[in-house]
């Protein structure tokens, strides 16, 4: 679907792209701001900020109910954002694109709708590598409906092998919930194989695309998934908006979730009939301005030469990984040789919070903690790790500044 983008993948002006993120030219504690926490939330380009501001200033009204021109234009902008998302991930139809507050709400939406069709003894397969957002809703659902959770583990390369999924499938498996890219290891998962296996067993699959959508083209139809969720804020868009893509069959058959305005057809004292998808799943006034912002973020990503961006991020990922691996006092988690935009590590003998705090003094922003993935931390035998993550705006200078600061942390803490 992004053939047009690939055709233009001749040149990527990294400095010009970086210049669109004004915060990156600021200083922190007397050092250039070195932002290596994109996997937690990305910085926003000027075009996203401007689109939201312009919409608020000149086009804002509530959507789907106004009988005046301003509301009609706001509704057009909101639905154009939905179409932008549809095209971005090649969803079959706009009704398959449900706006949510974020990926977390998207997963809870699936738990509340698809989950309502599950019966005691049914099984959900997930992995210890999932973000808490793709664990806790299933634990709550399992407790409420008497379901069984079946846990998969990643291999030494930071990948949940398709064979492990195949072995976990039983006649009672109803749902598979796995991430498309690990938020700790940064490894891309064989999602297409997961979908094929799940389909062969007659179950449904949800993919958590929060990290994957930032770094690679997504085609939900080629993947063959039932549900695909991601958030706007990691994709250079605003917080407060995310997407749950549903396969057409689910969009047309699942029960509603939250009740309220927008999602109804008729309401009387005697009962209620519900609107069709996607509005059926979007109770209340949606995040209208944020949808416009997400649309602008998608425009930003789509106008970049994706292949060149991937090469740029891969090169920086290699510089980051090799820089870490060259340091004997550093443990890197995940594959030894795969360049990736997200790398978890620890300075041996130091707590990652110590490392993050010293790096902060050098203007370097990294994440340290459990990364909302405590089962994975337990699996790795650690309580926490540090994590550096790259975005489209990251530079070789960022990586070098980070490695220098890490050496200082090593000297201070060892």
Query: What positions carry a catalytic annotation?
Result: 372
Closest to other proteins by CB, 40 or 408? 408
Query: Which residues are 179's β-sheet partners?
Result: 208
263 vs 358, beta carbon nearer other proteins: 358
| CA–CA dist 202, 370 (Å, integer) | 34
Residues 16-55 touching other proteins, rule: CB under 8 A, are 29
**Min separation Cβ 347 and other proteins, Å:** 10
Residues 183-215 as b/e (b if ≥16 CB within 10 A, e otherwise) read bbbbbbbbbeebbbbbeebebbbbbbbbbbbbb
- Rounded to whole angstroms, the maximal C-alpha distance in the chain is 72
Q: Which of 177, 54, 180, 174 is nearest to 121 (CA)?
A: 174
**Cβ distance to other proteins smaller for residue 79 or 360:** 360
A 10 A CB-CB count for 9 gives: 16
Nearer to other proteins (CB atom), residue 26 or residue 357: 357
Region 314-373 residues binding other proteins, contact defined as CB under 8 A: 350-351, 353-354, 357-358, 360-361, 369
- Looking only at the bridges linking them, the beta strands covering 330-333 and 342-347 are antiparallel
Nearest to 32, CA basis, from 45, 16, 21, 41: 21
Cβ count near 264 (within 10 Å): 16
Q: Which of 291, 390, 314, 346 is nearest to 40 (CA)?
A: 390
Please give the Cα distance from 400 to 414 (Å, whole number).
21
Question: What is the smallest separation between the CB atom of 408 and other proteins, expressed in angstroms?
Answer: 8
By beta-carbon proximity to other proteins, the closer residue of 215 and 371 is 371
Instruction: State the angle between helix axes of 306-325 and 396-413 in degrees (0 to 180), rounded to the nearest 10.
Output: 20
Each residue 72-111 as x (binds other proteins by CB under 8 A) or -, in order, gives ----------------------------------------
Contact residues: other proteins, CB under 8 A: 29, 350-351, 353-354, 357-358, 360-361, 369, 383-384, 408, 412-413
């Amino acid at each position: 679907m992004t053939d047009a983008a690939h055709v233009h993948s001749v040149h990527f002006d990294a400095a010009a792209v970086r210049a669109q993120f004004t915060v990156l030219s600021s200083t922190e504690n007397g050092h250039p701001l070195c932002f290596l926490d994109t996997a937690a939330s990305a910085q926003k380009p000027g075009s996203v900020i401007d689109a939201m501001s312009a919409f608020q200033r000149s086009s804002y009204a509530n959507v789907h109910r106004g009988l005046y021109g301003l509301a009609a234009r706001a509704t057009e902008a909101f639905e154009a954002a939905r179409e932008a998302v549809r095209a971005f991930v090649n969803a079959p139809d706009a009704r398959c694109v449900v706006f949510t507050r974020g990926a977390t709400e998207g997963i809870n939406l699936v738990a509340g709708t698809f989950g309502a069709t599950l019966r005691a003894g049914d099984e959900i397969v997930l992995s210890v590598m999932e973000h808490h957002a793709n664990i806790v809703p299933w634990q709550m659902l399992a407790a409420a409906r008497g379901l069984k959770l079946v846990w998969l583990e990643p291999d030494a390369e930071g990948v949940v092998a398709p064979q492990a999924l195949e072995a976990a499938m039983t006649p009672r498996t109803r749902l598979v919930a796995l991430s498309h890219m690990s938020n700790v290891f940064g490894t891309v998962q064989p999602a297409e194989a997961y979908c094929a296996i799940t389909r062969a067993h007659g179950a449904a699959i949800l993919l958590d695309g929060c990290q994957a959508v930032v770094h690679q083209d997504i085609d939900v139809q080629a993947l063959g998934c039932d549900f695909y969720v991601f958030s706007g804020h990691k994709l250079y868009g605003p917080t407060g908006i995310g997407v749950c893509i549903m396969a057409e069959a689910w969009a047309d058959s699942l029960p509603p979730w939250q009740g309220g305005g927008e999602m109804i057809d008729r309401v009387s004292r005697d009962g209620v009939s519900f609107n069709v998808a996607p509005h059926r799943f979007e109770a209340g006034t949606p995040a209208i301005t944020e949808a416009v912002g997400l649309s602008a973020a998608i425009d930003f990503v789509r106008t970049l030469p994706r292949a060149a961006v991937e090469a740029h991020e891969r090169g920086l990922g290699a510089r980051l990984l090799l820089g870490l691996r060259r340091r004997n006092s550093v443990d890197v988690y995940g594959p030894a040789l795969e360049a990736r935009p997200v790398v978890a590590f620890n300075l041996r003998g130091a707590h990652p919070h110590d490392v993050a705090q010293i790096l902060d003094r050098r203007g370097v922003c990294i994440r340290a903690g459990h990364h909302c993935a405590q089962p994975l931390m337990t699996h790795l035998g650690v309580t926490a790790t540090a994590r550096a993550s790259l975005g489209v705006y990251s530079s070789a200078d960022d990586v070098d500044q980070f490695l220098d600061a890490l050496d200082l942390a090593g000297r201070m803490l060892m």
